[in-house]
Structure 1
Amino acid sequence: MKRIIQFDGLYGEADTDLPNRRPNGDYLFSERIETRSRTFDWVIQPHTHARLFQVFFLETGGVEFSEATQKRQLSGPVVLLIPFMALHGFVYTPDTTGRILTLSDTLIDALFPNTSALTTMLGSIQCIQAFDEPYSAQAIEHLMGQLNEELIGDQPEKQTMLHLGLQQLFIVFYRLWSRQNESVQTSANSIAIRHFRQFQQRVRQVGTTHSIVQLADELAITPVHLNRICQAIAGKSASQLVQEYVLSEACKYLIYTGYSVSEIAYLLHFEYPNYFARFFRKHTGLSPTEFREKQPAP
């Protein structure tokens, strides 16, 4: 049965390739886009990483970028931020150049804890296409190049310099992203941001098996307070965010796997397949089978 490909390490690396390269607390890897992509004839099949956050900076060329529910045609310069477990795939043009940074989840959490203003940006796939001074595409290229040089070098206080460089780079991303998304609630207080990030993480773990009351209770806040936080930061209720996550996962399974509708319902913790089918039709206007049949052949 076809399954969504998940890698513990980098794309194309089997478990046997990773005895000393599994993500750890300070895992950081830098590589050129063209180096790995050329090996796979410029096609990176849709896949996920359980514990890795990735930054793709496309300097030149173009790419068809696949997410769970859509495909986008992008051309350089563009930055893509891919969080843990987010489905992503690429079909590059052969003239593509750029750089990829891969960070472990623990490194991201250490650099940007729950109190960080960057929480909302880091929680989902982001596409940054507008580069305004002083943060030009050339400036991004320079910052990522500096990180690469530091990573392959052996200077004193290397880890400290890498951490500072990563924080600078991600703050630049945040400023560009904020300009691109002016509705982002940058004034949300740190406690609310922490609760929101914990809520996002818990939803990814439990899906629909927990009610909003249970999720709020785990955060030691009331459901009303949880909804206020979600509305302030994401502009949606807690229930809407849970439903969006489940729908995204459902579409991912329907497009990229051979699981039956009943199996997908089970994977998403629906009590009965018809409950899942009813949920899916309500949000898409199609049955799961109709949705799958409308997808183009691979």
Structure 2
Amino acid sequence: MKRITQFDGLYGEAAAPPDGARPDSEYLFSELLETRSLTFDWVIHPHTHAHLFQLFFVESGGVELSEATQKHQLTGPVVLLIPPTALHGLIYTPDTKGRILTLSDALLESLFPDTSALKPMLGSVQCIQAFEEPYSAQAVGQLIAQIDEELFGEQLEKRAMLHLILQRLFIILYRLQQQNETIQNSPNNLPQRYFRQFRQRVRQVGTTHTITQFADELAITPVHLNRICQAVAGKSASQLVQQHILDEACKYLTYTTYSVSEIAYLLHFEYPNYFAKFFRKHMGVSPTQFREGKPND
């Protein structure tokens, strides 16, 4: 039977760090993910930590996470939360970049006592892969960078500031984790997510995609996409695309000095006359007449 190593300190270090030697100490350490991983040729063998909680922010690259009975192939950005005594091993791709935060369980307890709603999340291995606004992966990374800057700086009230940033970071991760669980465990919420993703892509590509292409990107059928749009907005997918294009066209015509040809280009029409024909069909006037406030001939 293969023996699992338990570290009192960080991976590969026989002794606990001086500040983390006592069970009641508030130990915090920040390091680049690639620094320690490169030392071990990107392979961190399965192990546990006695009194340390770890947060891995994989900004880019890939990692294979091994738990007690499972393996997960993950691609950045992703956040991994590993509580004390949880078995974990990591194999990174050599291009992986990110940062690791290591906290004593005493520090975590002072930030979030047993009565905190976050305790269930902090008590088991978590993998957060979906980042939805306003909590983007970039925002999470910036908070982690702030912790690193504060930890190794010499500003006044460092401890208080670190506590505040850590609490903000973990509350954001809790919200993301709850969103992830809701999406995964509640099929009733999937239509809303598909609808949001569809509307976002419409804003990005306009008329360059067919409804079938939009549906393919969502890994659903065009019929399913139309049902979702009807249920959420009361319109078909095509009607929503048309409405978006018309709304944008009207804004450009009303509030900018772009020519009709320039507006057609901005809205991804292949030719200006295609845009003019589309606009007249749905608005009853040409783009120029609309801009000048003239009625249909």
Write out per-residue CA displacement over residues 213-234 of structure 1, whole angstroms, 9 at most, x where no aligned residue: xxxxxxxxxxxxxxxxxxxxxx
- Match for residue 34 of structure 1? 34
Contact 2:121 2:174 in 1 (8 A): yes
Would you say how many aligned residue pairs link Structure 1 and Structure 2? 184
Q: Secondary structure at the match of 1:10?
A: coil
Q: Report the Cα distance in structure 1 between the residues aligned to 2:2 and 2:177, rounded to whole angstroms.
A: 36
- Match for residue 222 of structure 1? none
Q: Report the Cα distance in structure 1 between the residues aligned to 2:151 and 2:19, rounded to whole angstroms.
A: 17
Question: What amino acid is the match of 2:118?
Answer: L
Q: Report the Cα distance in structure 1 between the residues aligned to 2:93 and 2:183, rounded to whole angstroms.
A: 33
Q: Which runs of 5+ in 2 are unaligned?
A: 185-297
Residue 134 (structure 1) shift: 0.7
Q: Report the Cα distance in structure 2 between the residues aligned to 1:18 and 1:125, rounded to whole angstroms.
A: 23
Residues 19/106 of structure 1: CA separation in 2 closer, same or farther (3 Å cut): closer
Q: Secondary structure at the match of 2:182?
A: coil
Residues 141/44 of structure 1: CA separation in 2 closer, same or farther (3 Å cut): same
- Match for residue 231 of structure 2? none
Q: Report the Cα distance in structure 2 between the residues aligned to 1:126 and 1:22, rounded to whole angstroms.
A: 26
Q: Secondary structure at the match of 1:13?
A: coil
Q: Report the Cα distance in structure 2 between the residues aligned to 1:21 and 1:178, rounded to whole angstroms.
A: 31
Question: What amino acid is the match of 1:102?
Answer: T
Contact 2:19 2:26 in 1 (8 A): no
Contact 2:55 2:102 in 1 (8 A): yes
Residue 18 (structure 1) shift: 4.0
Residue 79 (structure 1) shift: 0.3
Q: Report the Cα distance in structure 1 between the residues aligned to 2:21 and 2:3, rounded to whole angstroms.
A: 22
Q: Report the Cα distance in structure 1 between the residues aligned to 2:135 and 2:82, rounded to whole angstroms.
A: 20
- Match for residue 83 of structure 1? 83
Q: How does 1:199-210 map to 2 (within 5 A)?
A: none
Q: Report the Cα distance in structure 2 between the residues aligned to 1:112 and 1:183, rounded to whole angstroms.
A: 25
Q: How does 1:139-154 map to 2 (within 5 A)?
A: 139-154=139-154
Residue 123 (structure 1) shift: 1.2
Question: What amino acid is the match of 1:124?
Answer: S
- Match for residue 7 of structure 1? 7
- Match for residue 102 of structure 1? 102
Larger radius of gyration: 2
Question: What amino acid is the match of 1:64?
Answer: E
Question: What amino acid is the match of 2:109?
Answer: D
Q: Report the Cα distance in structure 2 between the residues aligned to 1:181 and 1:166, rounded to whole angstroms.
A: 22
Q: Report the Cα distance in structure 2 between the residues aligned to 1:7 and 1:90, rounded to whole angstroms.
A: 15
- Match for residue 21 of structure 2? 22
Q: Report the Cα distance in structure 2 between the residues aligned to 1:97 and 1:5, rounded to whole angstroms.
A: 25
Q: Report the Cα distance in structure 2 between the residues aligned to 1:169 and 1:12, rounded to whole angstroms.
A: 27
Write out per-residue CA displacement over residues 30-64 of structure 1, whole angstroms, 9 at most, x where no aligned residue: 00100000000000000000100000000000011
Question: What amino acid is the match of 1:125?
Answer: V
Are 1:52 and 2:75 matched, yes or no? no
Question: What amino acid is the match of 1:31?
Answer: E
Residue 151 (structure 1) shift: 0.1
Q: Which moved more, 1:166-175 or 1:20-29?
A: 20-29
Q: Secondary structure at the match of 1:14?
A: coil
Question: What amino acid is the match of 2:180?
Answer: Q
Residue 2 (structure 1) shift: 3.6
Q: Report the Cα distance in structure 2 between the residues aligned to 1:183 and 1:19, rounded to whole angstroms.
A: 43
Residue 182 (structure 1) shift: 1.9
Residues 160/64 of structure 1: CA separation in 2 closer, same or farther (3 Å cut): same
- Match for residue 67 of structure 1? 67
Q: Which runs of 5+ in 1 are unaligned?
A: 185-298
Are 1:127 and 2:127 matched, yes or no? yes
- Match for residue 158 of structure 1? 158
Q: Which moved more, 1:41-50 or 1:17-26?
A: 17-26
Q: Report the Cα distance in structure 1 between the residues aligned to 2:144 and 2:36, rounded to whole angstroms.
A: 17
RMSD between superposed Cα atoms in Å? 1.8
Write out per-residue CA displacement over residues 220-256 of structure 1, whole angstroms, 9 at most, x where no aligned residue: xxxxxxxxxxxxxxxxxxxxxxxxxxxxxxxxxxxxx
Q: Report the Cα distance in structure 1 between the residues aligned to 2:181 and 2:27, rounded to whole angstroms.
A: 30
Between the aligned residues of both structures, percent identity stands at 67
Contact 2:20 2:26 in 1 (8 A): no
